[in-house]
Every structure is written in structure tokens, then in C-alpha cells.
A and B are shown apart, each in its own frame.
Chain A
Amino acid sequence: MRDVAVVSFAQARNVRRENRRNEVEMLIPVVKEAVEKSGIPKREIGFTCSGSSDYLAGQSFSFVMAVDSLGAWPPIMESHVEMDGAWALYEAWLKIQCGEVDSALVFCFGRSSPGRLRETLTLQLDPYTLGPLAPDPVSLAALQARALLESTNHTEREMAEIAARSRRDAKANEFAQLQGDFDVDALLDAPYFVSPLRVHDCPPISDGAAAVVLAADDVARKACEKPAWIRGIDHRVESHYPGVRDLSRSPSTRLAAEKAGVDAARLDAAELHAPFSHQELILRDALGIGDDVAVNRSGGALAANSIMVAGLTRIGEAANQIWRGEAGRALAHATSGPCLQQNLVCLLEGE
């Protein structure tokens, strides 16, 4: 295995509605910042991989148009996943492991605002028996929260505490969308949105973009004073049909962490992609993360949840903590699909 590291990260500020700039205009400064921070000349970056969804943009081949933000001349080696940028990073990591290239640019973008997200996301469901019923993502998450609350000792108060902590921590994150101090008792006095979820248990709807540069071995050491080395990365998927899963647990996260070589006792920090508050509880249980690990210092997906972007952002924010000296070893997690269907775990370490 080659030593591969995250050497730079850039992101756009998450906003409810980016209605001035199109996707290309959003990406140009983000890609430029990530490439410049890496110090690797753009022409020397061996591979580019992106993550996005045409269903969000509302136009076909929006990911091809996004190439206009790169300056793809002479023609570049490029690929795309119709997934969160974290999976684009996985493809780039594989490409580097195969020895084909020594560095890669990974970027992603997602504007939820052009469409109605709760309707758009129903199209990711099985189109024969589940999709036609149009269960929206909040309702599916509520089914999961109910399964968790009824089958474990977890409480709605813990969920509210996670929401309050996330938005409080997000005050230090200039890219976050939802920040502030909230009183847990006051949160619990609010009516249910989709029971047992209250509005504070749900993520904001966000438009955003992010980019990461990966590099191997000496290229990474030259690019970055303190590369955030990827010590392990793995992703696992569960059944497409929520009814056949135990929604109160996340066996795919547990297995991905095991394959990535995660030892929870040795972690300093974790960035968990948990769009709904109860999902952080499920992920903590799956990963064996205790209170001694700093979870989601960035505010996590409860503070900014650009679809297709929030997962790669977890990897970038975990790397940020290594670069700032806040963590020596950090776990980053990304999720995709309804109710934590698919999960990626990435273990980062400083030197």
C-alpha cells in the first residue's frame, strides 16, 4: 500500500439558497483554493474525480458542465460518481494505490435549492414498491429514530443535546449555515415535526461545494507540512429496502470501520456524517466512540448539509483538525442513501 494523504481542503460557505451563481461559478474559487493550497501545479495533478447528482441540479450532465471550472486543457484524466464527494475521494485513492497517478483533485457540489429536496430524494428509493409511496427522507429518518428510541435506552433529550452541541460548535465554523446557542429544555418544548423528530433534529437544506487534493508519498510530503495520512478507508452498503434492515443499528459502519483498521480507543476526534441527531447516536454505537472523542467540532451535518458535499466535508474537516494540531488521529465518516444505508469510514493520522 502507498502512503496517501489529504494535502489540502477548500469549501464554499453553505447557504440555504445560492441563486446568484451557477454550479461552475460556485466551484471555480473552491477548486482554485484547494489546488493552490496543495502547492501542486494544476497540470501535474494526475487525476480528477467529482461527486454530484443531476437530480439536484435538475439538468442532465450537470457534472460534465462542472468540468468547465477546471481548465481541462490539455485534456485531463477525469471521472465522476453520482454520489457524495467522499466516494469520489475513494475512487481517487484507489487510482493512486494502483500506481497510475501520484496526486488527485476531488471535488463535489450540490445545490438542493432549485428543487424540493424532500421530493427529489424519494427518487433514490426502489422505484417499484417504495418510491411510488413517496416516503420523504425526514419521514424515513423518523422511522429510524423511533426504532432506536424504542429498542435502546437512548432518549429524545440526548438527540436535543446533540443538536444544541452541533450548532454551538458551528459558531466557530465560518462555512456552517446553522449556528447558535440553543437551550435543550426549550428545544424539547417544541412540537414534533415528524414524530419523534423535532425541527432541531433535522439538518438544514444547504447549497455548497468542496474540494480536496490527495497526494502520495514524497509528493504529499513536499505539498504539505503535515499531511493527513489516510491510514485506512472502506465503505459498505446495506439493503436498498429499509424494511429488511435493523434501522436502530449500523452494521455497515461497524464493518467499514473494522476494515479501515479503526481502534476507537486511540481516536482523538471524529467527524460523523449524521444529518439527523439520532444518527449520531447510532454511529457512535457502531464505532464504539465514547465521550472522550471530540465529535463534529465543525458542527457536522446538523449545521450544514449540502447533499453530495457533506461527506467529503467530514474528511476535509478531520484533516483540518490534524493540520491545526487539534487531533493526531481522526476518523471521518460519510453516509449515503436513506437511514444511513451506505457508509464510508476514513482514518486519518498526522505524522
Chain B
Amino acid sequence: MADTREPVKSIVTPTRLEYDFTPGMASTRFLRGMAEGRILGQRCPQCEKVYVPTRGSCPRCGVPTEEEVEVPGTGTVTTFCIVRVPSENIDLKLPYTAAHILLDGADIPFFALLQECDADAVRMGMRVEAVWAPKEEWGTTFENIRYFRPIDEPDVPFDSFKEHL
């Protein structure tokens, strides 16, 4: 006799693991800087590139980065995308702009949110600044920087940041 019952299609086996995160020495310094409203990077002793945020090594040279470099909250949009689809985890008005921002004095851009600016107006080379959360809310987290917004400065030429795309 063939088994005519519905096939067993799924089972539920809940799993939960908890971890104590260790940021490491370099990221710890970066996060402690955040709590003081400072943006700290590190310079590679070989190629002299400045990494912000840093994870403790120069990925190109494979050597520890130890020299601390403070950079300002101003920078340049190197590339960007405009998000027009909603996401369950993101509570932002559509469309919004996510950008790669190269802080002044840094050699790698990082991913950040751009606000106070129409998506249509965003350009590569546009000058921006960090908008911080109120000081009393600062903690050891990158989230202290709420987003970046445009500043009233002329765009910088493409050649000046083309190495950082």
C-alpha cells in the first residue's frame, strides 16, 4: 500500500547561541574614541595608508598597524547608491542614499548613510560631514555617528579620490 499521507515537509529545532564579542586591541581603541566623539584610525608602518576604522592590520602588507591617527568628521563621497526598496530592518524614508565616504586624511572609504539631501542631488566628489548623536547618548559604538550630510564646499575633483574607489 502506498503511503498516502502528506509528506513531512519540515521540522522546527530552535537553536540559540550567545557569544561574548572581543573587538581586539585596534577596534577597542576605535570604539573608545567613538565614546569621546573622536574618529581614530591607524597608519600602516610600511605603505603609510591610514585605515578608519582599523582592525589592527594592514590588509595589503599583513603587518600590525600601531600608529594612531585622528581624522576629522569631514570627507568626500566616493561612490553611492540610492535605495528605493523597503527593508524590514531599516526604518528610513525612501528613497535614501547609502554612500562610501572617504574621511579627510583616511585612505579607505567606509559605508555610511547620507541624509538631509535629496537622493537626486548626491554626486561623487560631494563634500559631507558627520552628524553625531547628542553627547549624552555616546557609547563605544559607531552608531554615535547618526549619518552624514552635505556641507557647503565645492566638489573635489575625481582624480583626487579615484585611488579610493
Enumerate chain A interface residues (CB-CB to B < 8 A): 18-25, 28, 31-32, 42, 55, 58-59, 65, 67-73, 111, 113-116, 119-120, 123, 127-128, 131-132
- Whether A71 touches B60, Cβ cut-off 8 Å, given contacts A22-B55, A25-B25, A127-B13, is yes
Besides A68-B55, A71-B60, 8 new A-B residue pairs in contact (Cβ under 8 A), listed by A number:
A21-B22, A21-B56, A22-B56, A24-B24, A65-B55, A114-B20, A115-B18, A131-B15
Contact assessment for A69 and B22 in the assembled complex, using a CB-CB cutoff below 8 Å: no
Chain A residues closer than 8 Å to B13, beta-carbon distance:
127-128, 131-132
Chain A residues closer than 8 Å to B55, beta-carbon distance:
22, 24, 65, 68
- Give the distance in Å from the alpha carbon of A67 to the alpha carbon of B58 in the complex: 10
Chain A residues closer than 8 Å to B57, beta-carbon distance:
24-25, 28, 68-69
Contact assessment for A58 and B62 in the assembled complex, using a CB-CB cutoff below 8 Å: no
- Which of A25, A31, A32, A58 touches B24 (beta carbons < 8 Å)? A25
Contact assessment for B22 and A19 in the assembled complex, using a CB-CB cutoff below 8 Å: yes
Contact assessment for B25 and A120 in the assembled complex, using a CB-CB cutoff below 8 Å: no
Docked complex: B1-35 residues within 8 A CB-CB of A: 11, 13, 15, 17-27
Closest 5 CB pairs of A and B: A71-B62, A22-B24, A58-B19, A73-B60, A114-B19
- Enumerate 29 A-B pairs (CB-CB under 8 Å) in ascending A order: A18-B22, A21-B25, A22-B24, A22-B27, A22-B55, A24-B55, A24-B56, A25-B56, A25-B57, A28-B56, A28-B63, A28-B64, A31-B62, A42-B62, A55-B17, A58-B17, A59-B19, A65-B55, A70-B62, A72-B59, A113-B20, A113-B22, A114-B20, A114-B21, A115-B20, A116-B17, A116-B18, A119-B17, A120-B17
- Which of B18, B25, B59 touches A71 (beta carbons < 8 Å)? B59
Chain A residues closer than 8 Å to B21, beta-carbon distance:
58, 114
Contact assessment for B22 and A111 in the assembled complex, using a CB-CB cutoff below 8 Å: yes
Enumerate chain B interface residues (CB-CB to A < 8 A): 11, 13, 15, 17-27, 55-64
Chain B residues closer than 8 Å to A58, beta-carbon distance:
17, 19, 21
Chain A residues closer than 8 Å to B23, beta-carbon distance:
22
- Whether A21 touches B24, Cβ cut-off 8 Å, given contacts A65-B55, A114-B19, A116-B17, is yes
- Which of B11, B58, B59, B64 touches A25 (beta carbons < 8 Å)? B64
CB distance from B93 to the nearest CB of A (A): 29
- Give the distance in Å from the alpha carbon of A65 to the alpha carbon of B15 in the complex: 25
Chain B residues closer than 8 Å to A119, beta-carbon distance:
17
Contact assessment for A68 and B25 in the assembled complex, using a CB-CB cutoff below 8 Å: no
Contact assessment for B25 and A20 in the assembled complex, using a CB-CB cutoff below 8 Å: yes
Q: Which chain A residue shows the least CB distance to B61?
A: A71
Contact assessment for B56 and A71 in the assembled complex, using a CB-CB cutoff below 8 Å: no
CB distance from A280 to the nearest CB of B (A): 30
Contact assessment for A115 and B24 in the assembled complex, using a CB-CB cutoff below 8 Å: no
Chain A residues closer than 8 Å to B15, beta-carbon distance:
123, 131
Of A22, A58, A72, most buried by chain B (CB within 10 Å of CB) is A22
- Whether A25 touches B26, Cβ cut-off 8 Å, given contacts A115-B17, A119-B17, A127-B13, is yes
- Give the distance in Å from the alpha carbon of A71 to the alpha carbon of B49 in the complex: 13
Chain B residues closer than 8 Å to A111, beta-carbon distance:
22
Chain A residues closer than 8 Å to B27, beta-carbon distance:
22
- Give the distance in Å from the alpha carbon of A32 to the alpha carbon of B64 in the complex: 11
Contact assessment for A72 and B18 in the assembled complex, using a CB-CB cutoff below 8 Å: no
Contact assessment for A128 and B20 in the assembled complex, using a CB-CB cutoff below 8 Å: no
Chain B residues closer than 8 Å to A131, beta-carbon distance:
13, 15
Contact assessment for B22 and A73 in the assembled complex, using a CB-CB cutoff below 8 Å: no
Chain A residues closer than 8 Å to B24, beta-carbon distance:
20-25
Q: Which chain A residue shows the least CB distance to B56?
A: A25
- Give the distance in Å from the alpha carbon of A128 to the alpha carbon of B12 in the complex: 9
Chain B residues closer than 8 Å to A55, beta-carbon distance:
17
- Give the distance in Å from the alpha carbon of A24 to the alpha carbon of B65 in the complex: 12
- Which of B17, B26, B59, B64 touches A73 (beta carbons < 8 Å)? B59
Q: Which chain B residue shows the least CB distance to A65?
A: B55
- Give the distance in Å from the alpha carbon of A58 to the alpha carbon of B19 in the complex: 6
Contact assessment for A72 and B25 in the assembled complex, using a CB-CB cutoff below 8 Å: no
Chain B residues closer than 8 Å to A123, beta-carbon distance:
15, 17
Chain B residues closer than 8 Å to A32, beta-carbon distance:
62
CB distance from B94 to the nearest CB of A (A): 27
Chain A residues closer than 8 Å to B63, beta-carbon distance:
28, 71
Q: Which chain A residue shows the least CB distance to B13?
A: A132
CB distance from A239 to the nearest CB of B (A): 20
Chain B residues closer than 8 Å to A59, beta-carbon distance:
19
Of B27, B55, B58, B62, most buried by chain A (CB within 10 Å of CB) is B62
